[in-house]
Structure 1
């Protein structure tokens, strides 16, 4: 198996924070490090909140309720899920309090709402039709020496995978299975990588980690940065905030649909040469508008720069370096717009030879050991929960009960942007460079969240009520038809309970701010 080099666990903190125009090593955030969390605070929530730079004094505002029977797993997925939503809710409450000039509202997280939202793509129906999440060429496959996970949901990824294996473009899953069964997993993985396809060998859990959050406060050389524009009272904490959304496939879109829920004006920007699946946009396009711009076209690029000039945040989910040629590297953006918040998401972490590789939640689960860890739970005759396989021998890899790396990272990104907006207006001015990875969230799940399901402190007694998703679903008319969809799980006193607008057709909006 190709090594995924990362520093030893003890060398990487959960959060990395630096100051200045370029990274300069770990340093405390601002002048006042976060206060110690209360002894009875939920551990994973306190961990995430500290990683985001939040004050431990606010954690007593957080409480949980609802069934404990959600997101069952051999790993603490329920605790990860509710902690990311709690951190995001607390960040929203904190910004709401700043704008209102009052106390931070209470945060009350319903675990049923969290569980439903974490599988929102599975609950989605369009005029009664349930979308297919994984294509026939995506899933776990036996190799000559183990298992490999493929991702071929987009047509161009399927074509690249088949080409890399010497198969015709119309080859079916059975032909793919036959070829893969004769080759070592690592060889297939590397051939796929060279061809721009997506396949990752299933490996055991390792002992290396990535940071959960990396934050860099960027201040220009010379005069002190200008104060950010004030945010006055508003019904929603992110009202008036402008977000350019350069993301695809669950994690980034979850972050931006959450910011849209909280009042932000979110414009998703896509290339006209990289189509999106209608069902994916129907799930994650709530609250946002969608624009097509070709950044290689001078007129479209000028339009993009006009939008960028008055944006508050840019969130990117493209492979590291993919946008650099367009002048959209974080340092280039922050040099032109010193007060901007730039949030980046990648699959495999920001260091080492795997940093520039493509990846999705399912592939990261395979490549960091989650799939191997969950193998015994998912070895069932009906097949793989979120993919496909031919045959089902003993030792079949498993999956988490949700694409929790995607969804959890999405809520953390939204939380970090909200916290940055608050910090910029409470004594810590300057731009922000925020970095997240699916591998970082996976490291947190594997190494930092206790696996004990005992409930103490703010949780109260265990709630074994059977989980029913129905109360957390709604129906909304949209340009795609009548949608059944998951309601947002973000919850604080005064929080919105649904998005202000359904998803519009992908790529059909005008490139202007509201």
Structure 2
């Protein structure tokens, strides 16, 4: 699979104008990172889809087309943005809890734990009946059958995944449920007249002409955390959308991801557990163009903010849903993260086998998270274009598992795992520095290059709840 063919698949699946593909140019080649999977093609294609969708939306508004260029090296740097983040020339706060990782079970299998949130860690320790120590956790897990522990942790609402081969994954009911689904879905969920957003005055402290940016005037509510959803919101921000991130006061976050994925956005706290908070969100939604959320399927609907609820509240909304294992099948509501989906679906086992490793190996980046985030942003812009030409409210659905299924269909790179790793020094030309309340932040800049409307993030990252819950 080449970046060109992957982009063609994304573009045609969304029923976008085929002629627009002629304005995209790719550079670079595989393998860009140590992996047998074609992560470079995935990165280049999904980022190019965002850039081209932004260019086409700008053309819809101005009648001016433009060329889009994506270099694979820069795209892969974007897919590792959290790895290259620096604050005041030093590393950011820790990204992972020490207990997170692979463990061998009593029956000779491997299982991965994900304990980066304190309540997930405490829940795992309670199930295992051990102390918060990696050696103690390893000893406890050796007393379990792998499949039994996997199911026990899932039933407790905790985050883990048994390491499976691709064949074992394919035999599961969850894999069968999503096997025939497309990479993403864009469906009409309500009626509304055709509409383009009005260009708004710049809200960004920048000397650039922000009023002519592709998504100028587009308002995005970003109800997501960690990587995939926040990457989608960040991608929309880098093309001019006003993105307001909404967090609950009780919800945990991971500090370096708040910094990296909070760039270009404002941040407010709204408590959906009480009536006042729900009314605040309803007020924001009435004036929004995009409602982006990454809660488990059904979670927001229980608060009155499911896709159809929001479409009734704000006809013409583009509602974007991001989840882990897909919207159908027995695992639809299972908690999951990128690395867990890699483990469950055979990706980690494939990397292990190719490299002859004694332990499972993940991809060299959170590729499913980042690709799904860019696909969500692409879907949002494709739906905005449909709203502009034919009206309607729209629902965009993406999942990490469907993205992983697509990546596995790309074919393998023989000995790709032997490619050299890419250090911070290797990508310094891909970074940009900005002053923020966290300090001087050095982070990866957008990889897609648009010749008329360059992608950039006009706001520095801010702490959770730094802004009022209102539109500018």
TM-score (norm 1): 0.82
In the alignment, what sits opposite 2:204?
none
In the alignment, what sits opposite 2:382?
419
Alignment of 1:59-458 (within 5 A): 59-66=21-28, 68-102=30-64, 104-131=65-92, 132-145=94-107, 146-168=109-131, 171-206=132-167, 207=170, 208=176, 209=179, 210-220=181-191, 225-231=192-198, 234-376=211-353, 394=358, 396-426=359-389, 428-447=390-409, 449-451=410-412
Any conservation in 2 of the 1:202–1:367 contact (CA below 8 Å)?
Answer: yes
Which whole-Å CA distance do the structure 2 matches of 1:424 and 1:116 have between them? 33
Distance 1:115 1:197, change over 3 A: same
1:266 positional shift: 0.7
- The alignment's C-alpha RMSD in Å is 2.0
Q: Going by fraction, where is helix more abundant, 1 or 2?
A: 2
Which whole-Å CA distance do the structure 1 matches of 2:3 and 2:273 have between them? 49
1:192 positional shift: 1.0
| Secondary structure of residue in 1 paired with 2:139 | helix
Distance 1:249 1:355, change over 3 A: same
Q: Which runs of 5+ in 2 are unaligned?
A: 171-175, 201-210, 415-419
Any conservation in 2 of the 1:374–1:397 contact (CA below 8 Å)?
Answer: yes
Distance 1:200 1:330, change over 3 A: same
Q: How many residues align?
A: 441
1:69 positional shift: 4.5
| Secondary structure of residue in 2 paired with 1:501 | coil
Deviation sequence 1:326-368 (CA, Å, 0-9, x none): 1011122112222110010110011111001110000000011
Which whole-Å CA distance do the structure 2 matches of 1:42 and 1:497 have between them? 21
TM-score (norm 2): 0.89
Which whole-Å CA distance do the structure 2 matches of 1:41 and 1:269 have between them? 34
Which whole-Å CA distance do the structure 1 matches of 2:213 and 2:361 have between them? 40
Q: Which runs of 5+ in 1 are unaligned?
A: 1-39, 381-393, 454-463
Any conservation in 2 of the 1:312–1:341 contact (CA below 8 Å)?
Answer: yes
Which whole-Å CA distance do the structure 2 matches of 1:72 and 1:211 have between them? 28
Q: Which moved more, 1:69-78 or 1:251-260?
A: 69-78
Which whole-Å CA distance do the structure 2 matches of 1:197 and 1:164 have between them? 10
Any conservation in 1 of the 2:3–2:41 contact (CA below 8 Å)?
Answer: no
